[in-house]
Structure 1
Amino acid sequence: MTTSHMNTADADTAAELRAAMVGELRSTGAITSESVAEAVSTVPRHLFAPGEPLEAVYDDGNAVLVKRDPNGTATSYLSAAHIQAVMLEQAEIEPGMRVLEIGSGGYNAALLAELVGAGGKVTSVDIDPDIVARARDCLAAAGYDRVEVMLADAEYGVPVGAPYDRIVVTAGAWDISPAWVEQLSERGRLVVPLRMRGLTRSIAFDRDGESLASHSYRLCAFVPMQGSGAHRERTVLLGDEAALRLDDESRHFDVAAMRKALHSPRLERWSGAAFDLPDELELFLMSAPQAVMLHTSEEFVEQGLLARSAGRGVPALISDGGSFAYRTKRPDEATGGFESGVIAHGPEAEQVAARYVGLLRQWADNHRRRGAARIRYIPKAVGMAVPYQEFAVKRRGVVAIFWS
């Protein structure tokens, strides 16, 4: 049951737009189950974005800004319906479950309430009192008073309601809190947007003893976690033209050598391998020990300094001497698709390009499919497991990847 002060015409328009959004989410594969389709069809998303145009609210790829901090940085969004649906499908929530949502906006909590039904329980927490108050008001307006919204630092979870069958995190996390693992039920699942070496993936982790093993992972983007779990991303500026973004504070770069290499002639090498599934390829490339995310602006792309792939952020391999290589693509007339290739700069361009081309071919030959990675989170107290490849070292554990 929902309450709304909209006139009949606007209510009818909202219902039509909501139905169209569900259809679009089905067609793109974001919604794959009837339970999630029914929840998204039922919850009036516009009541969680008061004052926003209906067309914007029901655009499945549109995130609605909720709050900025005093510096103008966005701290809260009503996430795009597409990624919300994807994460709900990852969670595989069933009626009667107990669910903890970390990062409260109201709408996702209402979807969770629909999925768990009258016999389940949804608790939603946020560190920002303004967001907590807003979520409570929106949930009440939409008729979801049974959702419990709490003010809390999510780093510590909510022990009073544990154990939870599902914990769904809706803010970008750099590490996994021990409380989240401890508060999961024996067969519980954690769905978390985890940041690793400059990438973020929504990973559905199942408990596997004291560690976590991935059930699925998907591309996503979220505002970063606040509170005790916050972690600042490191940026290494290469002058005004480009930057490296990473999490590792200990890694050293010869910035002067890289800047000199950046302005040297480019070397192109082509792999003969198809370019597709860029999010899967990106995760594989970033598994290389020397890889780091390279970014530039549209201005320098237009000037031809770096290829367009760097404007969106691209994995780059960097030699000790400051030479570097990064991925690009070109049309493949034989297939109608694209071929993956490498652009390299610096005195060691030939060598670093060859290593990169080798990675592109290795992925194309062995791992070019959805879900080829198996991701594990091992708390430091548990110890490292083999034969998993170490991917990212965190404060409280290690992210490791095995490629099948």
Structure 2
Amino acid sequence: MSQMDSSTVAGSPEQLREAMVGKLLNEKAVRSAAVEGAFRAVPRDRFAPEATLEAAYAIDVVITKRDERGLAVSSVSAPNIQALMLEQADLKPGMRVLEIGSGGYNAALIAEIVGPEGTVTTLDIDPFVTERAKSCLLDAGYEQVHVVLGDGSAGCPGFAPFDRIIVTVGAWDIPPAWVDQLSEDGLLVVPLRMRGLTRSLALRRTGLVLVSESAEVCGFVRMQGSDAHEERLVQLAPGEVGLRIDEMQPVDADLLDGVLDTPRVSLWTGVTVGRGEPFDSLYLWTASVLAGHCFMSVDPSTDTGRTIPANKLACPAVVDGASFAYLGLRRISEDGEPPTFEFGAHGHGPDAGRLVEALTAQVQVWNLEHRHGPDPVFTVQPVEAPAELLPSGSAVITKRHRRITISWQ
């Protein structure tokens, strides 16, 4: 069989790539001709040699490196997430682009869009990752991409300024270098973690201020280097139930010792949701307005039923002193009817009643005012910005370098 004939064989890279692009178009992850053209042009399998062809072109992540605990520390991101961020970046021919967090494939997609007049630099802190990316890019014919080894927190001053900076690792803060190296009116696209939630923000620069133009739900492996930030885990039932504290909150773990042994307090809201109906804006709303917001996680393999969260892996919760409350969800439809669930809250500790009331009240506010409304606007300013210069908003989240205001309309 000739080479031309082999390219049409079912399961060939070309057919799998076309099928992947079709799926991305159907789910509207790809929305522009430029991004569509890039996905059609770049052979994803050349950047995932560890995977089968089917896995390389699946709408899924390809893990390329794990740490000593088996956790992913580097990957080729899922193509729908890559498409989402490329659409957010609004790339144009001739642009200068920095990618922080390398893998090779996304840099090749960027290179296709910015064209021969553009410049693409991809940077990573891990020499294994940069050497792998360099090899894959050369193999696929993208030798024009600059691959740089370095701490992403410092950016890449040697190739700055950039029209676009695209961060492909989960960031907890926005280091000064990213703003300094971004052109005036440039866009920073970054998966930013705020009180345990990650949103891919497209942030437009005006002076030292960044203002969001879009926000998308996403997930990434966490950033390493000088601006790495780990969640704190407060164990409520060791090996079973814990609270994930993401911000610099003064939670006293000793006060919560034995809290699950206290009676459970529950309250329901009358707010309902159908199976498969999205409600990710609820999590963002509770994170915005509730002091002491965190997430509760329950290990399904050791779950004894001491808690009944709406989501075992990441359930919105609020903690205050020796008490905490978390979001609940119960089925209220009869057997045979379409599944319908009601939101509520459960709490433990001496002040559980107040926390449960606070959480359920905010579920009701979300339902009335924000459930079908627009996304909030995220404004990012230097941490030393005077309070009077911060925009009015539901939340001000203080990081190491930046203050982030979440303003709901």
The reply to whether TM is greater than 0.5 is: yes
SS in 2 for 1:67: strand
CA contact (8 A) 1:315 1:327 kept: no
Per-residue displacement from partner, 1:185-233 (whole Å, max 9, x unpaired)?
1110000111111222111111133111111111111111112222222
CA contact (8 A) 2:169 2:221 kept: yes
Q: Distance in 2 between matches of 1:74 and 1:325?
A: 28
CA contact (8 A) 1:67 1:75 kept: yes
2:298 maps to 1:299: no
CA contact (8 A) 2:299 2:312 kept: yes
Q: Distance in 1 between matches of 2:25 and 2:214?
A: 19
- When structure 1 is superposed on structure 2, of 145-154 and 330-339 the one drifting more is 330-339
TM-score (norm 1): 0.91
> Which residue matches 1:363?
366
Q: Distance in 2 between matches of 1:100 and 1:92?
A: 14
> Which residue matches 2:250?
251
What letter is aligned with 1:400? T
Q: Give 1:40-51 correspondences, 5 Å limit.
A: 40-51=39-50
Aligned-pair CA distance for 1:126: 0.9
Per-residue displacement from partner, 1:97-119 (whole Å, max 9, x unpaired)?
11100011000000001111122
> Which residue matches 2:92?
94
2:208 maps to 1:210: yes
SS in 2 for 1:200: strand
Q: Distance in 2 between matches of 1:29 and 1:391?
A: 32
- When structure 1 is superposed on structure 2, of 317-326 and 78-87 the one drifting more is 317-326
Match of 1:173 among 168, 171, 174: 171
- How many residues are treated as equivalent by the alignment? 397
> Which residue matches 1:34?
33
Aligned-pair CA distance for 1:266: 3.1
Q: Distance in 2 between matches of 1:330 and 1:365?
A: 21
Aligned-pair CA distance for 1:244: 1.3
CA contact (8 A) 2:328 2:345 kept: yes
SS in 1 for 2:116: coil
> Which residue matches 2:144?
146
Aligned-pair CA distance for 1:51: 3.4
SS in 2 for 1:298: coil
Q: Distance in 1 between matches of 2:172 and 2:115?
A: 32
> Which residue matches 1:340?
343
Pairwise CA RMSD of aligned residues?
2.3
Per-residue displacement from partner, 1:280-329 (whole Å, max 9, x unpaired)?
1111111211211111110354x322225341211112243324232324
Q: Distance in 2 between matches of 1:323 and 1:389?
A: 21
Q: Distance in 2 between matches of 1:263 and 1:23?
A: 52
Q: Give 1:255-270 correspondences, 5 Å limit.
A: 255-256=254-255, 258-270=256-268
What letter is aligned with 1:388? G
Aligned-pair CA distance for 1:15: 1.4
Q: Distance in 2 between matches of 1:329 and 1:259?
A: 27
Match of 2:116 among 111, 115, 118: 118
SS in 2 for 1:309: coil
> Which residue matches 1:322?
323
SS in 2 for 1:269: strand
Per-residue displacement from partner, 1:364-387 (whole Å, max 9, x unpaired)?
111113642111111124334131
Q: 1:208 to 1:338 in 2, by over 3 A?
A: farther
CA contact (8 A) 1:46 1:57 kept: yes
SS in 1 for 2:17: helix
CA contact (8 A) 1:238 1:255 kept: no
Match of 2:64 among 59, 63, 66: 66
Match of 2:76 among 71, 75, 78: 78
CA contact (8 A) 2:31 2:87 kept: yes
CA contact (8 A) 2:329 2:341 kept: no
2:224 maps to 1:222: no
| Sequence identity (%) | 42
Aligned-pair CA distance for 1:65: 1.1
CA contact (8 A) 2:246 2:294 kept: no
Structure 2 residue runs of 5 or longer lacking an equivalent are none
> Which residue matches 2:403?
398
Aligned-pair CA distance for 1:72: 3.8
Structure 1 residue runs of 5 or longer lacking an equivalent are none
- When structure 1 is superposed on structure 2, of 18-27 and 376-385 the one drifting more is 376-385
Aligned-pair CA distance for 1:352: 1.9
> Which residue matches 1:164?
162
Per-residue displacement from partner, 1:76-122 (whole Å, max 9, x unpaired)?
11111111111111111111111100011000000001111122111
CA contact (8 A) 1:64 1:79 kept: yes
Aligned-pair CA distance for 1:261: 3.3
SS in 1 for 2:128: helix
> Which residue matches 2:183?
185
SS in 1 for 2:12: helix
What letter is aligned with 2:346? I
Match of 1:201 among 199, 202, 213: 199
